[in-house]
Structure 1
Amino acid sequence: MRNILALWGVITILIYSGKALAHCEIPCGIYDDHLRIHLLEEHITTMEKSIKKIKELSEKNDPHSKNQLIRWIMNKEKHAKEFQYIVWQYFLTQRIKPINPEEKEKYRKYIKKVELLHKLSFFAMKVKQNVDTKYTDKLRKLLSEFEKLYFGKKESYH
């Protein structure tokens, strides 16, 4: 019985270990901010491709195209949601620290970062609601602004 319980415990850990891919809130100091920016860029590109495929498949009326259309819609939704998760859970929750308003310049930058993160999340929501690449274009522009502000001009990833 003990061996069965141990085996069950190992199986449970293996099943749920895939859910622990996101960086946790433990202050371990292991962060890769550049990687997160790159992931956001990939999500934007994927959302954009999904939009293009949705438009293309919407013109067809066969069952296979309808099936593929639904899959691309779900893909767009998934990547917009993952984009928002990185924006809020990684950057806003863990990386952007509140600043004392008396520290005028630091506080101004803090407010601008929070504003850009909010806009990024908002336009990811607009991607979910629409099939217009103007929203992915807007995400790219906002992400570039955020990246420059977050890293500074000298440390920018690109």
Structure 2
Amino acid sequence: MIRVTKLFFAVILCCAMLILPKTASTHCQVPCGIYDDNARVVGMLEDVATIRKAVKMLFELADKTDVQSRQQFVRWVTTKEDHAEKIISTIANYFLTQRVKAKQTDYVERLTRHHAVIVNAMQAKQKADQKVVKVLEDSVKALLQYYPEHN
């Protein structure tokens, strides 16, 4: 009976691992020393471009009532929110935990600029507005001064 119970719980655990959503991490939190900060900022700019396209498509689909257009509308909303969340995750789980350090002389400025990206990404999730997307893009670009491309 104990074997059956253990097997049952093992099967349930395996099924749960397959069904439950997985979180994507932008980088491990092990001090591996493998960092490409600029690539992460460029990646966030790609997320912004996706958000921009999603907002454009939402306006193009807004008045359409056929099922296919409605489905695409929902997919663009989801895409917009997913990419905004990805930006928030990158800032929180990578930059704020590993790259912004209290001992930096410009710590408050860096913290403020990284926080602005999070707030602007949240706004991009909540609104379908190209002006909001532009503010988000500008706030991400402002981080490039801290993370220049390596030569």
Aligned to 1:92: 96
Q: Is the 8 A contact 2:117 2:140 kept in 1?
A: yes
Aligned partner of 2:59 in structure 1 is 55
TM-score w.r.t. length of structure 2: 0.80
The one-letter amino acid paired with 1:61 is: T
In structure 2, which of residues 109, 123, 139 is the aligned counterpart of residue 126 of structure 1?
123
Shift of 1:19: 5.8
- Give, in angstroms, the shift of residue 22 of structure 1: 3.2
RMSD: 2.3
Report the Cα offset of residue 141 of structure 1.
Answer: 1.2
Q: What residue is the counterpart of 1:36 in the other structure?
A: 40
1:142 aligns with 2:139: yes
> Could you say if the C-alpha distance between residues 132 and 23 of structure 1 is closer, same or farther in structure 2, counting changes exceeding 3 Å?
same
CA distance in 2, matches of 1:133, 1:146: 20
Stretches of structure 1 that go unaligned for 5 or more consecutive residues are 100-105
For the residues of structure 1 that align with 2:24 and 2:57, how far apart are their CA atoms? 31
Would you say the 8 A contact 2:41–2:143 is kept in 1?
Answer: no
- The more displaced of 75-84 and 135-144 is 135-144
- The separation in 1 between residues aligned to 2:26 and 2:85, in whole angstroms, is 14
1:102 maps to none
Q: Deviations over 1:69-102 (max 9, x none)?
A: 0010010010000010001111001111112xxx
Once residues 25 and 144 of structure 2 are traced to their aligned partners in structure 1, the CA distance between those partners, rounded to angstroms, is: 23
Higher relative contact order (CA 8 A, sep 6+): 2
Q: Deviations over 1:109-155 (max 9, x none)?
A: 2111100111100010001111101111111211222211x13xxx4
The amino acid of 2:53's aligned partner reads K
Q: What secondary structure sits across from 2:102 in the alignment?
A: coil
TM-score, scaled to structure 1: 0.77
Aligned counterpart, 1:64:
68
- The structural deviation recorded for 1:21 is 5.6
Task: Report the CA distance shift for 1:41/1:128 in structure 2 as closer, same or farther (over 3 A).
Answer: same
How far apart, CA to CA, are the structure 2 residues paired with 1:61 and 1:29? 52
List alignment gaps of at least 5 residues for structure 2. 1-6
